[in-house]
């Protein structure tokens, strides 16, 4: 069964949690990436930071969680990549299609104040625990 059909437009970004966003940003800048977005965000444990860096068609999300959550990142045993994000045209349609197809959905679509007009995303879990984010950048 093929779902998402024309709604799927490709990999949007790879999300990497980091312990020091400035060090990580500098590392990727040395590799030829340029910063294309920076935002702070709030979660239940405090403030975090997110920086998107891009080189040609590759977009990487570097994000630093609140201090209380940093030990989780430092103690990972399976590597630091947290999720792969897929770009979709219509987040509501993508959510309904995956939900109706029986996918393991981790979260309902939520809004983030990222990019110029924000984005909406939700996360599904793959068969080996991989996190797949479906993301729609809002255009006005």
Characterize the bridge pairing of strands 104-105 and 34-43. unpaired
Query: Which structural domain range is residue 129 located in?
Result: 5-137
Per-residue pLDDT of 63-115, as tens digits, reads 888 875 666 666 665 556 778 888 899 999 999 988 998 888 998 999 999 99
The span from the CA of 94 to the CA of 104, in Å, is 13
Q: Does 27 have pLDDT greater than 70?
A: yes
The reported pTM is 0.67
Q: Which CATH number belongs to the domain containing residue 88 in this structure?
A: 3.10.180.10
The span from the CA of 137 to the CA of 140, in Å, is 10
Q: How many Cα atoms occupy the beta-carbon half-sphere of 124 within 13 Å?
A: 19
User: Among the residues of the chain, which ranges form H helices?
Assistant: 21-30, 70-74, 91-100
> How many separate domains does the chain show?
1
pLDDT score for 43: 82
End-to-end CA distance of the chain: 33
Is 1 or 85 the better-scoring residue by pLDDT?
85
* Nearest partner of 132 among 121, 120, 118, judged by Cα: 121
Task: Please state which of the ranges 41-45, 52-56, 100-104, 127-131 shows the lowest mean pLDDT.
Answer: 127-131
The span from the CA of 44 to the CA of 129, in Å, is 23
């Amino acid at each position: 069964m093929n779902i998402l059909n024309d709604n799927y437009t490709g990999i949007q970004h790879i999300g990497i949690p980091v312990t020091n966003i400035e060090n990580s940003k500098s590392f990727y800048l040395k590799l030829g990436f340029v910063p294309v977005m920076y935002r702070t965000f709030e979660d239940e444990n405090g403030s975090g930071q997110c920086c998107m860096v891009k080189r040609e068609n590759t977009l990487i999300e570097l994000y630093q969680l609140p201090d209380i959550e940093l030990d989780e990142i430092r103690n990972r045993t399976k590597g630091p990549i947290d999720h792969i994000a897929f770009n979709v045209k219509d987040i509501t349609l993508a959510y309904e299609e995956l939900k109706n197809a029986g996918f393991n959905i981790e979260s309902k679509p939520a809004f983030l104040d990222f990019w110029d007009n924000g984005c909406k995303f939700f996360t599904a879990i793959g068969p080996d625990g991989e996190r797949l984010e479906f993301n729609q950048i809002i255009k006005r």
